[in-house]
Amino acid sequence: MVHADDLTIEERPIPATRKRAPRAFLLAAGTLLLSAAVVARIGRFGFNPTDQGFVLAQVWRVLHGEIPHVDFLGPRPFGSAYLHLIDHLVPAPLMIGSSFVMMVQLIVATFALAAFLTGTSPLDWGPLRLGLVFAAALVCLNTYPLMAWHTVDGVFLVAIGWWALDSGLRSGSRWRRLLGLFCLGFAIIVKQSFVFAAPIGLLILLFHPAAPPKKWPRLLGDVLVLGAAPLLYFGTVTVAGGLPSAIEQLTGGTQTWGKSLIRFWETDFKGQADPRTYILPVLLAVAVIAVAWSFRERLGEPGRWLRVVMGLCVGAVVVFVVADGGFEHVGSWPITLLWLFVAVALLDAVVRKRLPWQYLSVAALGWMASLSWGYPLPGLLTGILALGVLEAVVPPDLPRVPKLAGGALGATAFVLAGLLLMSAHDKAPYADRPQGELTQDLGDVAPSMRGVRTNPSVHAYVAQLRGCLDHYPASRVAVLPHNSFVAPIFGVRNPFPMDWAIPIEMTGDSPERMVEAAERLDREGDYLVLFQTVDPVSLSEGEPVPRAVTADAPTIGLSSVEGRIKDTLGGARVACGSFAGFWAPAR
């Protein structure tokens, strides 16, 4: 009744072994080529000293033997620091290589979630679905920065985990089932908000339609694999004596529960179109399609055409929401897509005649991804949310789409998504100026940033830092409150236990530990601690950076910790470029 070349949600068997290798090679090559193209055309434009390098700084600490929650602190677990060790293996400058890895993660996650939703193998997809999934990956990127980030890691691991677990159970593949469970456990230690993926994984394991008879030894082994990554992580922290501090750090942050998803219904969209108006017609169309499907034999051909017309209307709404959103980094369009996605879960239930657990799981992942202080939106899932709506409303009894026509439609969707992506990034790269104003290559400041282009103000800022390190040599360097890129880019060690010394990040005993680190520095010497006088927002707006300031110039202070550190350090007061701070040479 259903064909792989169509947009359908029917489960299909895995292709024959002889077809798998060439198709797998083409998919892998396509993923790598698209990732490289996106980095070359989009990812290397724009640099934000505040955010970019945050996860890389944690990787740098791990490479130098530091232990999470013992030697460095934070309100989230540091699983991303281990996952992104791979960034250093990419044969490219570190910043470019890290962007490439992030794009690969996003494409793979989109493929995995599409396969999970549809119960199909990517190796069995026709050109239409392949084109749409690649297009969905570009929509998922929108204007999100191409950089190593814990939320991206969580989405990536959960997507791989659920897909591998589902396909492993359907095919009887033990290694895929175990891989899925391990990835779901790993997701817990990149960010707490993804902890909910593990119990969903357990429910899939226990109640999957293709699950084998329950055997306690096997179930126990599966649970141990699920908990392997968290047990190893927290076991290491415990042995190092950091468990009490870790618990205090991880539980002491400001709680967030996805308020933006609920406030969407309470917001007064004055002066702009109300995105909630798109949801009601989709609900009505879904209801019509569900009724027409339930009575398809009685309604005959007219009922079938009614479902086609309603499906086209829903598809038009989804395309409009994506296009109208303009790939804005912050906007209502990701939330609109999430609620549209939830609405079509009803249709999935009617067609499959069962609980729409795949759709509900992906909706839950959208909620998990929105549990954020800085970006409380399901933006990283927008492409798969849009694709999921289209998958649900396509009539399952639609005739096979010819490969040529399907390929043309898929290619058109991919090209349009790419054009929208380039237009959005050219106008507003993440936290930087429009692309036409990004005239400076940071490669002349540090080899690991070769190829990254930014505006003259950010370039001057980073170049000043390079000059400070040359003029005041020290093995331990910190630039407060948040310039985490300094350590991994310039190859120095941050003597403080935090890379973002901002109030919301300082949970548990973090403030005291920061001051204690300053006291050790003052005793041992060989340090350079700088404080920025330039607001990061002014950098992204391209405002001029002062060529020089005095040693007692006012600096950016986000908490009382900066002042306490200044009072503790007894080194020589120095100033270089727009920075002021303290320097004590090696003794």
Q: Helix (H, G, I), strand (E, B), or coil: what is residue 453?
A: strand
* Cα(502)–Cα(484) distance, integer angstroms: 12
**199 part of a folded domain:** no
Q: Would you state the structure tokens that stand for residue 375, as one six-digit string?
A: 């970006």
Reading the chain (587 residues) residue by residue, the pLDDT tens digits are 334 444 443 444 444 555 678 889 999 999 999 999 999 999 999 999 999 999 999 999 999 999 999 999 999 999 999 999 999 999 999 999 999 999 999 999 999 999 999 999 999 999 999 999 999 999 999 999 999 999 999 999 999 999 999 999 999 999 999 999 999 999 999 999 999 999 999 999 999 988 888 788 889 999 999 999 999 999 999 999 999 999 999 999 998 999 999 999 988 887 778 888 999 999 999 999 999 999 988 998 899 999 999 999 999 999 999 999 999 998 899 999 999 999 999 898 998 888 999 999 999 999 999 999 999 999 999 999 999 999 999 878 777 888 899 999 999 999 999 999 999 999 999 989 999 999 999 999 999 999 999 999 999 999 999 999 999 999 999 999 989 999 999 999 999 999 999 999 999 999 999 999 999 999 999 999 999 999 999 999 999 999 999 999 999 988 899 999 999 999 999 999 999 999 999 87
Same domain for 555 and 466, yes or no, is yes
Q: How many CA atoms lie within 13 A of 426 on its CB side?
A: 8
Same domain for 294 and 385, yes or no, is yes
Supply the pTM of this predicted model.
0.94
Q: Please list, in sequence order, all residues whose beta carbon lies within 8 angstroms of the beta carbon of residue 567, skipping any fewer than 6 positions away.
A: none
**84 part of a folded domain:** no
Q: Would you state the structure tokens that stand for residue 272, as one six-digit string?
A: 């702009």
* Cα(428)–Cα(374) distance, integer angstroms: 18
Q: Would you state the structure tokens that stand for residue 22, as one six-digit string?
A: 């060439």
* Cα(481)–Cα(503) distance, integer angstroms: 10
Same domain for 344 and 265, yes or no, is yes
* Cα(408)–Cα(411) distance, integer angstroms: 5
Same domain for 569 and 469, yes or no, is yes
**379 part of a folded domain:** yes
Same domain for 366 and 477, yes or no, is no
- Phi, psi of 526, deg, nearest 5: 60, 55
pLDDT for the residue numbered 8: 42
Q: Would you state the structure tokens that stand for residue 173, as one six-digit string?
A: 């593949």
Last residue in a domain, options 398, 417, 451: 398
pLDDT for the residue numbered 16: 52
Last residue in a domain, options 365, 383, 398: 398
pLDDT for the residue numbered 557: 87
pLDDT for the residue numbered 216: 86
**407 part of a folded domain:** no
**174 part of a folded domain:** no
Of 402, 498, 430, nearest in space to 72 by CA: 498
CA-based torsion, 258, 259, 262, 264: positive or negative: negative
Q: What share of the chain is helix, strand, coil (3-state, %, to 5)?
A: 60, 5, 35
Range of 525's domain?
440-584
Place of tokens 């204007």: 143
Same domain for 392 and 474, yes or no, is no
Same domain for 390 and 454, yes or no, is no
Q: How many residues are listed for the chain in this entry? A: 587
Q: How many CA atoms lie within 13 A of 205 on its CB side?
A: 29
Same domain for 474 and 577, yes or no, is yes
**487 part of a folded domain:** yes
* Cα(183)–Cα(229) distance, integer angstroms: 8
Same domain for 358 and 445, yes or no, is no
Same domain for 373 and 504, yes or no, is no
Residue type, 113: L
Structurally, the chain folds into a number of domains equal to 2
pLDDT for the residue numbered 15: 47
Residue-wise over 471-482: b if at least 16 C-beta within 10 A, else e? ebebebbbbbbb
Same domain for 377 and 474, yes or no, is no
**9 part of a folded domain:** no
Last residue in a domain, options 398, 429, 458: 398
Dihedral in degrees, nearest 10, Cα atoms 182, 39, 59, 52:
-120
Q: Would you state the structure tokens that stand for residue 194, as one six-digit string?
A: 């993804």
Please give the helix or strand (H or E) that residue 539 lies within, else none. helix 536-540
Of 489, 472, 145, nearest in space to 329 by CA: 145
